A and B are shown apart, each in its own frame.
Chain A
Amino acid sequence: MAEAHRRSGIRGDEAAAGWLFVAPAVLILGLFLVLPIGMALWVSVSGWNGQGSPFAPGVPYVGAQNYASLFVEDGLTRENFMISIRNNLYYVAVAVPAQTLLALALALVVNQRFLKGTSFFRTAFYFPSVTSSVAISVVFLFLFANSGAVNALLAAFGISGPAWFADPRGLLHLLLGGLGLVDVANPPAALTGGGPFGLSWWEWLAGPSVAMSTIIMLVVWTTSGTFMLIFLAALQDVPVQVEEASLIDGANAWQRLRHVTLPMLKPALFLVVTLGLIGTWQVFDQIYVMSQGKPANTTLTPAYLSYRTAFSDFEYGVGAAISFVLFLIIVVMTLLQRWIMRDRDEPRPRRRWWPRRGSTS
């Protein structure tokens, strides 16, 4: 309040002028961001059937009905939604660490001073990121076709490659079956009997399907270039003096990376993981171009399911509800990640979660 009083003197008109200056930004953000989100929120609690305006009188308000059909009601809608969540969980769990590690590794490599032709490699690694994802998807379709280049390569090593895009078997199922722990054709009743949200534990534990893993490979390959660039920018910001100081202290290469470089890359790492999480939860164009959810719904993702539910089944309410759940998932994941990577400034005893053998310190 004191602030407000003080301002009413000679600089009293600044508030109006300030609003005037930010008006274009407020208008544009309001019109294209806040308002559409509000409209979509209304659609997600309405029974709008896609005819005319969703705000016309006569469009029924159904409350949480659309959300209930996703979580509570036993039916195909919930099953498809949960399958899409499962697929995307595995997708995120594999793609985000893989693309982050690959990007970091690439950035460390092209940041080396002794490397010749760095700019060539930087361009080469970045190239997939600037190419249209649709074009890359189509190329991958050819590469992973049953008689495509990948299977031809595998055949050269005497391996009979799978029918990549037609193979709905989950990798975890294959692994468990391969280890002889379970019989995949006849899974244990304890797992098939029940599970959360109408999907049996056996289905939750399927892992990414063979078809999904090709899409993961594609995405890791295309996005790592962008993230490499972010890491590279951060690496170039690491002062040479710090590294030299650690050299003088007698740190070896691994120690320099682990205790000097990586801590200084933390903001970049946060950015990369956040962008990765958001991007992977929203995966759409690769699915739309390559698989449309096939085979056996194992490449169905919430983003694609939302589109399909709204535009081909005319269930706009459920489609909007799916996108809001997806929005919440992304927000929660990002907050969680922020919490995990938070700065711990207070001095604390160094703890390890693994015992250090042969160490007296």
Chain B
Amino acid sequence: MVRAGLRALAVVCLLALAACGPPPGPVPQRTGPADLQILIGSSGAAETKAVTDAAAAWAAASGNAVTVIPAQDLDQQLGQAFAGSSPPDVFYVDAARFADFASVGALEPYADALAAAGDFYPTLRQAFTYQGRFYCAPKDFATLALQINEDLWARAGLSAADVPRDWAQLTAVAERIAARGITPLALGDTVERIGAFLVQAGGWLISPDGTKATADSPQNAAALTYVQRLLRAGLARYPSALDTGWAGEAFGRGLAAMTIEGNWIKGALAGDYPDVRYTVHALPAGPAGEGTLSFTTCWGISARTPYRSQAVAFVQAMTAVDQQLAFASAYGVMPSVVTARDRYLQAFPADRAFLDGAGHAQGPVNAPKMGNVLSDFDTQLQRLAVADPQAILRRLQRNMTAALRG
């Protein structure tokens, strides 16, 4: 009887193992019309529609079939798809997660072979380069800039000439605004905003090749000390201290005269706070000059797709200049190629500060297994006002070094 039970269990095991997917190894490529699955982490209905339409147009012109699937939770759905050996052929990869995907061999390194490979902004190329290989084509990008509320600015007696160009001027205008009882700056409490100060101070968290932690540098300490001074003097406040979910909300509700956000704030303000009058300027320069952060997503192609060449053709069509400009007007992103620059500025002259940021922008930390480490850093940054910047950076250095080693 026991033996019969074991036999039954063995049969169950075999059945289940058989369902566990194909063996690893190079995937045989198929030619001819492809049926591409595209998984996108869409910012909203406008983006979903624009991408679906563009994909349908490409499919009709090229004779392939394309299905665009908007993800609810892109990270989790991708993780599940890879674990189940049935990943989509093409999918969005956020620059902050790129190294995680590249390091486990999930991505096809196709981008260097693209005709337009040299046309992408260098900061974006760097964001999608892992161990010297340029993996995937940047879809579009955004950068941080300084937004100023015109009404509050005027109420504090400031004019266009007072827009701060460096840290000293930022402190000076912030003090004048604070003297009027207005919160000068709403600042997001994560590395994705405060990191810009690190770049302006000449520091950053990781070496350019993504192999060495450079967190506890004097430049980074100077940057955090400066931000700490702003926070302690009430010249900058975190969104939670202003009873808001993010800095853009605080800015839109008129709770702060300035904020540091990216291109997405345009759409958010137009949608939720259409009456706010504001201007966009380059971030104030630090001791080491100008600096900002860039945020980007690429068209990842699965290393397991049987339709590699068709997928590359699809990405080529999606990153073409005209297509990117169409996406830009549909849902407010900036084209990732330099040749689209002038035409974009003609269409959106107000975005010059965002677009110019590409010249001195730093992408996200480009190394695998950093998610945990950076969310711990964010936790530390939330109590920056009362903590020791040196200790925060030492802790980050230790955690990053450990994550890079293992």
Q: Are B372 and A313 in contact (CB under 8 A)?
A: yes
Say yes or no for A267: interface residue by CB 8 A criterion: no
Mark out the residues of chain B between 364 and 379 whose CB falls within 8 Å of any chain A CB in the assembled complex: 368-369, 371-373, 376, 379
Minimal Cβ-Cβ distance residue in A for B7: A19
A43-B146 Cα distance, complex, nearest whole Å: 47
Q: Are B371 and A163 in contact (CB under 8 A)?
A: no
Q: Are B21 and A76 in contact (CB under 8 A)?
A: no
Partner of B382, one of A23, A51, A295: A295
For B12, B80, B104, B399, which residue has the most chain A Cβ atoms within 10 angstroms? B12
Say yes or no for B100: interface residue by CB 8 A criterion: yes
Q: A23-B8, A76-B373, A147-B243 are in contact. Are A35 and B24 (CB under 8 A)?
A: no
Q: A52-B24, A56-B23, A77-B372 are in contact. Are A30 and B12 (CB under 8 A)?
A: yes
Q: A31-B12, A80-B372 are in contact. Are A49 and B79 (CB under 8 A)?
A: no
A228-B277 Cα distance, complex, nearest whole Å: 55
For A19, A39, A53, A58, which residue has the most chain B Cβ atoms within 10 angstroms? A53
Minimal Cβ-Cβ distance residue in B for A48: B83
Number of A residues contacting the other chain (C-beta, 8 Å)? 42
Partner of B85, one of A23, A53, A295: A53
Q: A75-B399, A312-B75 are in contact. Are A51 and B21 (CB under 8 A)?
A: no
Q: Are B376 and A76 in contact (CB under 8 A)?
A: yes
Mark out the residues of chain B between 91 and 139 whose CB falls within 8 Å of any chain A CB in the assembled complex: 100, 104-106
Q: Are A15 and B240 in contact (CB under 8 A)?
A: no
Say yes or no for B20: interface residue by CB 8 A criterion: yes
Say yes or no for A248: interface residue by CB 8 A criterion: no
The minimal Cβ–Cβ distance linking A311 to chain B, given in whole angstroms, is 4
Q: Are A30 and B8 in contact (CB under 8 A)?
A: yes
Q: A31-B12, A35-B13 are in contact. Are A49 and B104 (CB under 8 A)?
A: yes
A52-B106 Cα distance, complex, nearest whole Å: 9
Q: Are A55 and B23 in contact (CB under 8 A)?
A: no
Q: Are A52 and B21 in contact (CB under 8 A)?
A: yes
The minimal Cβ–Cβ distance linking B20 to chain A, given in whole angstroms, is 4
A314-B13 Cα distance, complex, nearest whole Å: 26
A209-B398 Cα distance, complex, nearest whole Å: 27
Say yes or no for A316: interface residue by CB 8 A criterion: yes
Minimal Cβ-Cβ distance residue in B for A49: B104
Q: A27-B12, A313-B371 are in contact. Are A50 and B1 (CB under 8 A)?
A: no
Say yes or no for B386: interface residue by CB 8 A criterion: yes
The minimal Cβ–Cβ distance linking B1 to chain A, given in whole angstroms, is 6
Q: List the B side residues contacting A39 at CB < 8 Å.
A: 16
Q: Are B24 and A56 in contact (CB under 8 A)?
A: yes
A188-B368 Cα distance, complex, nearest whole Å: 38
Q: Are B100 and A313 in contact (CB under 8 A)?
A: yes
A315-B399 Cα distance, complex, nearest whole Å: 16
Minimal Cβ-Cβ distance residue in A for B4: A19
Mark out the residues of chain A between 303 and 343 whose CB falls within 8 Å of any chain B CB in the assembled complex: 309-316
Q: A26-B8, A31-B12, A50-B79 are in contact. Are A163 and B240 (CB under 8 A)?
A: yes
Say yes or no for B383: interface residue by CB 8 A criterion: yes
Say yes or no for A111: interface residue by CB 8 A criterion: no
A234-B100 Cα distance, complex, nearest whole Å: 53
Q: List the A side residues contacting B5 at CB < 8 Å.
A: 19, 26
Partner of B21, one of A53, A57, A163: A53
Q: A52-B24, A76-B372 are in contact. Are A314 and B240 (CB under 8 A)?
A: no
Say yes or no for A262: interface residue by CB 8 A criterion: no
Q: List the B side residues contacting A80 at CB < 8 Å.
A: 372, 376
Say yes or no for B76: interface residue by CB 8 A criterion: yes
Q: A296-B379, A312-B75, A314-B104 are in contact. Are A55 and B369 (CB under 8 A)?
A: no
The minimal Cβ–Cβ distance linking A201 to chain B, given in whole angstroms, is 19
Say yes or no for B328: interface residue by CB 8 A criterion: no
Say yes or no for A166: interface residue by CB 8 A criterion: yes
Q: List the A side residues contacting B80 at CB < 8 Å.
A: 311
Q: List the B side residues contacting A77 at CB < 8 Å.
A: 372
The minimal Cβ–Cβ distance linking A183 to chain B, given in whole angstroms, is 13
Partner of A15, one of B1, B17, B106: B1
Q: List the B side residues contacting A168 at CB < 8 Å.
A: 382
Say yes or no for B158: interface residue by CB 8 A criterion: no
Q: List the B side residues contacting A19 at CB < 8 Å.
A: 1, 4-5, 8
Say yes or no for A135: interface residue by CB 8 A criterion: no
Q: Are B16 and A31 in contact (CB under 8 A)?
A: yes
Say yes or no for B268: interface residue by CB 8 A criterion: no
Q: List the A side residues contacting B376 at CB < 8 Å.
A: 76, 80, 297
Closest 7 A-B residue pairs measured CB to CB? A166-B240, A30-B12, A146-B243, A49-B104, A53-B20, A311-B79, A53-B21
A-B pairs with beta carbons under 8 Å apart, 17 shown: A19-B1, A26-B9, A31-B15, A35-B13, A49-B104, A50-B83, A52-B83, A52-B85, A52-B304, A53-B21, A54-B83, A56-B20, A57-B24, A76-B373, A76-B376, A295-B240, A314-B369
Q: Which A residues are within 8 Å of any B CB, using their own CB?
A: 15, 19, 23, 26-27, 30-31, 34-35, 38-39, 49-58, 75-77, 80, 146-147, 163, 166, 168, 185, 295-297, 309-316
Q: Which B residues are within 8 Å of any A CB, using their own CB?
A: 1, 4-5, 8-9, 12-13, 15-17, 20-24, 75-76, 79-80, 82-83, 85, 100, 104-106, 240, 243, 304, 368-369, 371-373, 376, 379, 382-383, 386, 399, 402-403
Sample of 14 further A-B pairs with CB below 8 A, known A30-B8, A51-B24: A15-B1, A30-B12, A50-B104, A56-B20, A75-B402, A76-B372, A80-B376, A163-B243, A166-B240, A296-B382, A297-B376, A311-B75, A312-B75, A314-B369
